[in-house]
Amino acid sequence: MTTAAERSPRTYQVRTYGCQMNVHDSERISGLLEQAGYVRAGEVDDNPDVVVFNTCAVRENADNRLYGNLGHLRPVKDKHPGMQIAVGGCLAQKDRGDIVRKAPWVDVVFGTHNIGSLPVLLERARHNAAAEVEILESLDVFPSTLPTRRESTYAGWVSISVGCNNTCTFCIVPSLRGKEKDRRPGDILSEVRALVDEGVLEVTLLGQNVNSYGVAFGDAGEPNWKRSGGRSAFAELLRACGDIDGLERVRFTSPHPKDFTDDVIAAMAETPNVCPSLHMPLQSGSDDVLKAMRRSYRSERYLGIIEKVRAAMPDAAITTDIIVGFPGETETDFQRTLDVVREARFSSAFTFQYSKRPGTPAATMDGQLPKQVVQERYERLIACVEEITWAENKRLVGKAVEVLVAVGEGRKDERTGRMSGRARDGRLVHFATGAAGANGRPGDAGSLAGSIRPGDIVHTRVTYAAPHHLNADGEPLSHRRTRAGDAAEAGRSPRTPGVLLGLPTVGAPAAAPAPTTGCAAH
């Protein structure tokens, strides 16, 4: 008889689609599963015991992508009895029981409001040999109270709010993530400090609309965070992050132009560790389209914010989101978007073709545009954006930049002999680790070659600019080893334990007996 000690722990794999919110939610899913005794599957493991899909519902093809992936996984599951498939995230919140109806081999469906229930639902589905579908209509516990397995040793996501109170006609997010719920500033700052104590150098504050943060605090016992000294709670939060020793970089995403106030700009400019970068969605440069989108600001207001940001931080890099082909968009409307792009001088832009989402007001609007019209405008927008981003990047050639060395940013690094990371303004930099060779290619003769780790800080000089990145092919000017680099070298990832607030927990799940042959099949 096989003893418990001879059994192998069950393995898991999380597949993530969508925005930074989903990426951070997947860190929590991993933390929950590991707390419950699961072990992350190796990168080459095609047969984990549990596969979790953390889904997105923003794009039109999100449904097809999910069901296509589920279809590919069905024969794998058929060959591996005991394997479980779970589907969570925004698409699960939207489709609910339809997922099990369309893909009856799925074991668990959970929504955006009850991530913490996943281990219990998996165990219940195994015990009952039946699918478990649990979708809540409102937040169970704030997600950041859950245990988290961080993916990076040097940078961390920190949620300051969940949900959204806006009513943009193209967006399905508020109906899936609910009304905005803000987290207490003390809890946020405690999590930031815990990450810094683990060696993290950079945090990104996350929210659907970060600069509306704290609007309800005045009625909930937080008098010091309600427009203290004429400053908003979000500005206060940025300043408080500036007081945390060891925290070198602070970013945030995403603000809404309608709520963007001068005190936030002042806090950005006056807090040394807040990075000179701003991601602020435009969506359209046409006032008529913005009105139809129910965006509640106009292009003049948007450009005014950018002007103020650049007056306070002349070197700030500003990025944005733009939608092409919204219902009723005319050629004149589109030209106005191009005008705003040229005036704003974005360093980067995430561009999207309008995607009809059932349940949103825009899905039933008149003036839905033909695909070929949207595609042609999209291509013109891409060309316009790249012309500007290339010109903006060329201005940095010859300048010194501080780079936080990263993992996975440079797909060609191994072939080119470079490493990659992000400058303080968020730009991607590929840099040489040694002196350049005679042919101008990065070399390995420098004294720093081989000693730079992910999480370390490098100062280098830009030698070349492309539309989406910078190259620095001379030997780095300096290299600072960091605690984050130490953690990366040791293979450690930060973990924040969280507080389960009364959620039921389960121990290590029962595992299949260890294989008696030389092959491990999961």
pLDDT in tens, 367-385: 999 999 999 999 999 999 9
**Is residue 227 pLDDT above 70, yes or no?**
no
Higher pLDDT residue, 457 or 59?
457
Other beta carbons within 10 Å of 189: 16
Residue 510's pLDDT is: 35
Residue 160's pLDDT is: 92
Residue 93's pLDDT is: 87
275 annotated as belonging to a binding site for a ligand: no
Asked: is 143-395 a CATH 2.40.50.140 domain? The reply is no
User: Would you kindly state where each structural domain of the chain is located, as residue ranges?
Assistant: 11-134, 143-395, 399-436+452-496
According to DSSP, the residues that pair with 157 across neighbouring strands are 204
For residue 70, what are the contacts with CB-CB under 8 A and spacing of at least 6? Answer: 53, 85, 87, 103, 105, 106
Give the position of tokens 């809540």: 136
Of 106, 69, 114, the C-alpha closest to 87 is 106
Residue 414's pLDDT is: 82
Q: Rounded distance, CA 460 to CA 448, Å? A: 12
158 and 192 in contact (C-beta within 8 Å)? yes
56 annotated as belonging to a binding site for a ligand: yes
Mean pLDDT value of segment 339-352: 97
Name the most confidently modeled range: 146-150, 356-360, 445-449.
356-360
Least reliable range by pLDDT among 282-291, 427-436, 493-502: 493-502
Higher pLDDT residue, 32 or 317?
317
Mean pLDDT value of segment 56-64: 73
Q: Rounded distance, CA 326 to CA 323, Å? A: 7
C-alpha distance from residue 51 to each of 61, 129, 146, 363, 364 (Å): 21, 17, 20, 32, 36
**Is residue 235 pLDDT above 90, yes or no?**
yes
293 and 168 in contact (C-beta within 8 Å)? yes
Higher pLDDT residue, 229 or 363?
363
509 and 126 in contact (C-beta within 8 Å)? yes
- Of the chain, the percentage scoring pLDDT greater than 70 comes to 84
Do 11-134 and 143-395 come out as alike in CATH topology? no
Residue 503's pLDDT is: 27
Query: In terms of DSSP H, where are the helices of 4-117?
Result: 20-35, 62-79, 90-95, 98-102
Q: Which CATH number fits domain 11-134: 3.40.50.1370, 3.30.300.250, 1.20.20.10, 3.40.50.12160?
A: 3.40.50.12160
Mean pLDDT value of segment 19-46: 81
Least reliable range by pLDDT among 57-61, 155-159, 356-360, 368-372: 57-61
**Is residue 509 pLDDT above 60, yes or no?**
no
Q: Rounded distance, CA 393 to CA 410, Å? A: 17
Half-sphere exposure of 420 (CA within 13 A, CB side): 17
Q: Rounded distance, CA 377 to CA 398, Å? A: 35
Residue 231's pLDDT is: 66
Other beta carbons within 10 Å of 454: 23
Q: Which CATH number fits domain 399-436+452-496: 2.60.40, 3.40.50, 1.10.287, 2.40.50?
A: 2.40.50
- 143 confidence band (pLDDT: 50, 70, 90): low
Residue 220's pLDDT is: 46
- 515 confidence band (pLDDT: 50, 70, 90): very low
- Of the chain, the percentage scoring pLDDT greater than 90 comes to 56
**Is residue 464 pLDDT above 80, yes or no?**
yes
Sign of CA dihedral 18, 22, 27, 32: negative
Mean pLDDT value of segment 163-192: 87
241 annotated as belonging to a binding site for a ligand: no
Half-sphere exposure of 335 (CA within 13 A, CB side): 3
**Is residue 115 pLDDT above 90, yes or no?**
no
Q: Rounded distance, CA 118 to CA 109, Å? A: 9
Half-sphere exposure of 398 (CA within 13 A, CB side): 2
pLDDT digits (tens, 9 = 90+) for 249-305: 999 998 999 999 999 999 999 999 999 999 999 999 999 999 999 999 999 999 999
Higher pLDDT residue, 39 or 511?
39
The DSSP element (H or E) to which 299 belongs, if any, is helix 299-312
C-alpha distance from residue 242 to each of 106, 160, 211, 251, 271 (Å): 46, 16, 17, 11, 6
Give the position of tokens 């705003």: 340
